[in-house]
Structure 1
């Protein structure tokens, strides 16, 4: 186990993963699960909870070995490994899934979801289920969905209106929708890997990043970007994905255990996330981090050209309208 920590190359990670997931399964089953977040992140805690429930529900006959902190690389590296049968499971971020199924763009549409309750109504609706299942023919599929609160900008100066972003280099997970959004707001999108964001801000390579409050705290980005400006432009969705090649080797009983544990992890994530949000704001207050309230209407107006462009595409318009239909009255 000790030699696994610190692996970053896809080739090396794939070789290690293949030794876990490539052989036919015996009665006692070991599955690998990769994620790219640190141990304090809500998703790290949630996936550990999933692994514990799998062990409990299977009476110890199934072990989920969690490889966290990007040991197996970013999702864009691990998804091909799942497709090849070299990794069993992965935490898949919605932006990364967009490369495999364009419909996941819906989570990158600025100001589409009112709040986390609206997001969760969509995730667990017929529309959300259809979206989740849209990758089922890609060599993997999603066992669970986890919604989190909105992403905002953090830098070392207040961002109260779009003009304050003028020319600022902002780390994003690059998708066409996200890049266009940041450009319309006045910033310059910088596609830097999540794990390199801290040092990139620290060294002045970029001016800041954007993410939700729990990720900002868990990654300790508040140490290098000390002002969090709550424009709350888009939401965050993660999925628990499993390789089709892995699933097809499982017995019906083993599949039932994983499904049951996945549902339990969704409920757990909602409970623990509420606590972590409160804890994050408390820590930031103690650290003297400035939380800036912004002119959200100005930000909404700045991205209206993007909304207009998306609505001209019938397929994209369909998903936007399905999300809007689940907004609170």
Structure 2
């Protein structure tokens, strides 16, 4: 009799308090290397907030910014090892996991921001995100990181102006080869070391979006920024493959919906941030240079033959061009 009464009482409590049936909150971590002042941080906070809200607290994602848990290469290893759940990295680092990112990152493949938006919000963009799944990394969405251009202590009006220069780059076979075509040397350095390297002369320049001159204070040690806009490499939000498998189908759906919403939120944040950054950079005394892009495009052309030589890569390049 007692057991029957207890069973009836428990059933009544469950009906009165559905929360009893909810799964315990999963404490998850998302890490990246940029400061909280960069718009990608609030964009990812939007992702975390939506995931928590729509899962009714089951997915509790905490953000760790500014390289607190390591630089991007370290974070990738942590996610693959199951020690970290989510991360944001530059698409350039994903080249070593699948050639699709080499194609996406080819110079002048993305013509302008409108084209970037069409590609990243299309089937071809989603197909690229899925390519690293077998390497332990599931792509959820892209974030705008702006067009990357060269900057340093002298104007760069033509690719020949880069001859003999040491230019900081992210780890990327594509960028290493591009600098060789321009007669320069690509120097791979972690983001946290770029300011000191520019100031001390370890490198003569760097390549990044104009906001790097504000976020990384590079405008204090660089005098000229050249809008050659050779690449528009996106940042990518990823989750570990095994971690993704551990979620329920509904939780995976929530995460993807939240990631897509954060993509659109980031696009709005980026517009305002980049506009303000350009004004602030000019106030710092940096001279903007707007070179003819055609010589840069011509010099970079052999890369398409080198890295899009296989039929799958050529097909992907055509799909990107047609987006």
Q: Which residue of 2 aligns with 1:140?
A: 137
Q: Which residue of 2 aligns with 1:17?
A: none
1:220-268 C-alpha deviation (Å, 9 max, x unpaired): 1111112111110011211111112222332344333322221210110
Whether the aligned pair in 2 keeps the contact of 1:310 and 1:317 (CA below 8 Å) is: no
| Match for residue 46 of structure 1 among 27, 43, 47 | 43
Counterpart secondary structure, 1:103: helix
Shift of 1:284: 1.3
1:104 aligns with 2:91: no
1:323 aligns with 2:320: yes
Counterpart secondary structure, 2:89: strand
Q: Which residue of 2 aligns with 1:276?
A: 273
| Match for residue 84 of structure 1 among 70, 81, 84 | 81
Shift of 1:311: 4.5
Runs of 4+ that moved beyond 6 A? none
Gaps of 5+ in 1: 1-24
Q: Which residue of 1 aligns with 2:10?
A: none
Q: Which residue of 2 aligns with 1:254?
A: 251
Q: Quick one: structure 1 residues 305 and 143, their matched pair in 2 at CA, closer, same or farther if it must change by over 3 Å? A: closer
1:143-198 C-alpha deviation (Å, 9 max, x unpaired): 22223321000101100111211111000113222111111122211111111111
**Whole-Å separation in 1 of the counterparts to 2:71 and 2:97:** 15
Alignment RMSD: 1.8
| Match for residue 123 of structure 1 among 115, 120, 125 | 120
Q: Which residue of 1 aligns with 2:16?
A: none
Counterpart secondary structure, 2:35: coil
1:239 aligns with 2:219: no
Q: Which residue of 1 aligns with 2:18?
A: none
TM-score normalized by the length of structure 1:
0.86
**Whole-Å separation in 2 of the counterparts to 1:93 and 1:55:** 25
**Whole-Å separation in 1 of the counterparts to 2:309 and 2:61:** 44
Q: Which residue of 2 aligns with 1:184?
A: 181
Gaps of 5+ in 2: 1-21
Whether the aligned pair in 1 keeps the contact of 2:220 and 2:284 (CA below 8 Å) is: no
Counterpart secondary structure, 1:41: coil
1:283-322 C-alpha deviation (Å, 9 max, x unpaired): 1122222111112111111122223333433333222222
Whether the aligned pair in 2 keeps the contact of 1:41 and 1:215 (CA below 8 Å) is: no
